[in-house]
Amino acid sequence: MSKGMASKKLQKTPEQLKQESKRKSQLFNRYMLFRYSLAVFFFANLYWLLVQLFQPSLYLILPSLMLIAIIIATAEQFKLYSAEESRLTKTEFVLRAQAILQGLIVVLVILGHISTLFPTFSNHTSAKLFVIGLQLLGLALVVLNIKRLEQVKQNTDKY
C-alpha cells in the first residue's frame, strides 16, 4: 500500500470529526457537576486545613486526607474522556467520605468542639449555626452528586 492511500485512511471526514467533537463535548458536560463539586470541596477542605494550622490539633488529619482523596478523584475525572465505560469509583468514594465528614462536623459542632475544629470561630450559637448551615449545604451538594452518579452508572442521564 502506498503512502498516499495510508494517509487517506487515517484522515477523518468532516462528519467524523464533528461527531467526535460532539461526543467529547457530551462527556465534558456529563461530568461537569462532579468536577465543580470536587473543586468546591477541595477549596473548602484547603481552607479548613489552613485554619487548622493556626491551632494544630488531631483534626488536622481530616482535611489533609480529604484533599488527597479529592486530587485522586479529580485525576479519575480526566481519565474518563478517553474511556468507553464510565467508572466513577474514586469519585463516589470521595463524595461519600465527604458526606460522612460533614455529618461528623455537624455532630462535633453540636457537642461544642467548634473552637477546636475551626479556631477562627467562637463558641457562640451564631457561629455554630453558621458552620452547621455550611455543612448542610455541603451535604445537599453531596446528595445531588450521588443522585447524578447513580444516573451515570445506570446510563439514564441525558448524555
Which residue range forms the structural domain that includes residue 137?
A: 32-154
Instruction: Report whether 67 contacts 46 (CB < 8 A).
Output: yes
Instruction: Classify residue 127: in a domain, yes or no.
Output: yes
Instruction: Classify residue 4: in a domain, yes or no.
Output: no
Q: Which of 105, 73, 79 is nearest to 92 (CA)?
A: 73
Look at the chain and report how many structural domains it folds into: 1
- Count, residues in the chain: 159
Hey, what's the cell of 125?
A: 450559637
Determine if the pTM surpasses 0.95.
no
Q: What is the three-class DSSP state of 113?
A: coil
Residue 108 neighbours by CB under 8 Å, 6+ apart: 114, 117
Tens of pLDDT, residues 80-135: 766 666 788 999 999 999 999 999 999 999 999 999 999 988 889 999 999 999 99
Instruction: Classify residue 19: in a domain, yes or no.
Output: no
Instruction: Classify residue 75: in a domain, yes or no.
Output: yes
Tens of pLDDT, residues 11-69: 778 777 776 666 666 666 778 889 999 999 999 999 999 999 988 899 999 999 999 99
Instruction: Classify residue 40: in a domain, yes or no.
Output: yes
Instruction: Classify residue 82: in a domain, yes or no.
Output: yes
Distance CA 123, CA 62 (A): 21
